[in-house]
Chains A and B, each alone.
Chain A
């Protein structure tokens, strides 16, 4: 194995069903239903997916949802804002834990 990540693996995603077909079917059905037009448009859902892909740093998802966002009519400025939303939440999540640090420090300090 030359690399842990191979772009071609994305196209093989369905193979995950080989050992547990029923679970895979349920997952892919659910996945399809999640991304179908609902209260949110497909375009909005793709932007959320793009942001989440950056938060979890999944290269497959970033590749897939960068293309999906363009195909749903989003532009790079909107996509960049979505990535900033992920960044703000990730950064904020770290920073807000600073309060725990402060509480620990307060308890230990004179």
Chain B
């Protein structure tokens, strides 16, 4: 397989940043689940978690940069003790605040307070819901996860999330349950909308389907199951040069639990620093400038396969 940078070169392309509109904050690797497709190796045993000091530093950085959108992810962000501080700090600084959730981590005594806060701040929820099949979802995310996820989606609908009349966005993210490409987004969204409503009375705003990225725990599984070469061939064979102009790394910057910058969350998992060397938010007076090269690796093929990962 040709390296990603050689493929770019072969097409006469370079990957450079555009205006940075989104800050993605990865609050740490602690998670209540151990999903087998996780590119970060997050899980219950991980201790890496954003400190209060770093939360404040990241909020101050967002204040200096003026991002349109702030996207909070993890691990499970719900497990961060200072999540409320981070959300309250970010909300006035951006037009759109997003919170990623695996749905099961929302469960617990703080659920009501968290949902109230999300509603008050107009937070968009982005929930992982990989399959309409319980077996497939549980094989990816752990036994019983699918049932809990369905229950939580219904709870969120009751609070107004994912309903047309409230303006509270509930978006679903679908990742394939294995070493195969994701289905086309349009057809899949229509089928999920129809089946979730018919079978469980669940509604949502939009659905996004993404390829699994060959890093972290997913990479190890690809290797141990003998799928690695074939999967990488499939991704690289589906390289579509038209995806380059709208790749998310052109308009997003990712910050780790330590406050270090990356061109995206996948580069964070791969240890590819923004600008080629560890760069802390406190050292930056503004958002990454347009024109700066993006650090790339072979995992980037997951973003450029078919219709792409934007």
Binding site for B on A (CB under 8 A): 41-43, 67, 70-73, 75-78
Task: Tell me which residues across on chain A come within 8 A of B135, comparing CB atoms.
Answer: 75-77
C-alpha gap A86/B184 in the complex (Å)? 27
Contact at B133–A73, with CB atoms within 8 Å? no
Query: Can you give 10 A-B contacts (C-beta < 8 A)?
Result: A41-B187, A43-B191, A67-B180, A71-B176, A71-B182, A72-B183, A72-B187, A75-B131, A76-B133, A77-B135
Task: Tell me which residues across on chain B come within 8 A of A41, comparing CB atoms.
Answer: 187
Please name the residue on chain B nearest to A69 by beta carbon.
Answer: B180
State which of B136, B187, B188 has its C-beta within 8 Å of the C-beta of A76.
B136
Task: Tell me which residues across on chain A come within 8 A of B180, comparing CB atoms.
Answer: 67, 70-71
C-alpha gap A72/B191 in the complex (Å)? 11
Q: A70-B178, A71-B180 are in contact. Are A42 and B187 (CB under 8 A)?
A: yes
A83: shortest Cβ distance to chain B, in Å? 16
Q: A43-B183, A67-B180 are in contact. Are A73 and B136 (CB under 8 A)?
A: no
Please name the residue on chain A nearest to B192 by beta carbon.
Answer: A73
Please name the residue on chain B nearest to A70 by beta carbon.
Answer: B180
Total A-B Cβ pairs within 8 A: 33
Pick the most buried of B132, B136, B183: most chain A CB atoms within 10 A of its CB.
B183
Interface size class of B (residues with CB under 8 A): 10 to 19
B255 interface residue (CB < 8 Å to A): no
**Given pairs A73-B187, A77-B133, 16 additional interface contacts (CB within 8 A):** A42-B184, A43-B187, A43-B191, A67-B180, A70-B178, A71-B176, A71-B181, A72-B183, A72-B184, A72-B187, A75-B132, A75-B133, A75-B135, A76-B135, A77-B135, A78-B133
C-alpha gap A67/B178 in the complex (Å)? 10
Task: Tell me which residues across on chain B come within 8 A of A73, comparing CB atoms.
Answer: 183, 187-188, 191
The 9 closest A-B pairs by CB, nearest first: A73-B183, A75-B133, A70-B180, A71-B181, A75-B136, A73-B188, A71-B180, A72-B183, A77-B133
Task: Tell me which residues across on chain B come within 8 A of A76, comparing CB atoms.
Answer: 133, 135-136
Please name the residue on chain A nearest to B132 by beta carbon.
Answer: A75
C-alpha gap A41/B132 in the complex (Å)? 18
Contact at A70–B176, with CB atoms within 8 Å? yes
Task: Tell me which residues across on chain A come within 8 A of B131, comparing CB atoms.
Answer: 75
A69: shortest Cβ distance to chain B, in Å? 9
Task: Tell me which residues across on chain B come within 8 A of A77, comparing CB atoms.
Answer: 133, 135
A72: shortest Cβ distance to chain B, in Å? 5
Task: Tell me which residues across on chain A come within 8 A of B181, comparing CB atoms.
Answer: 71
Please name the residue on chain A nearest to B182 by beta carbon.
Answer: A71
C-alpha gap A43/B181 in the complex (Å)? 14
C-alpha gap A38/B191 in the complex (Å)? 16
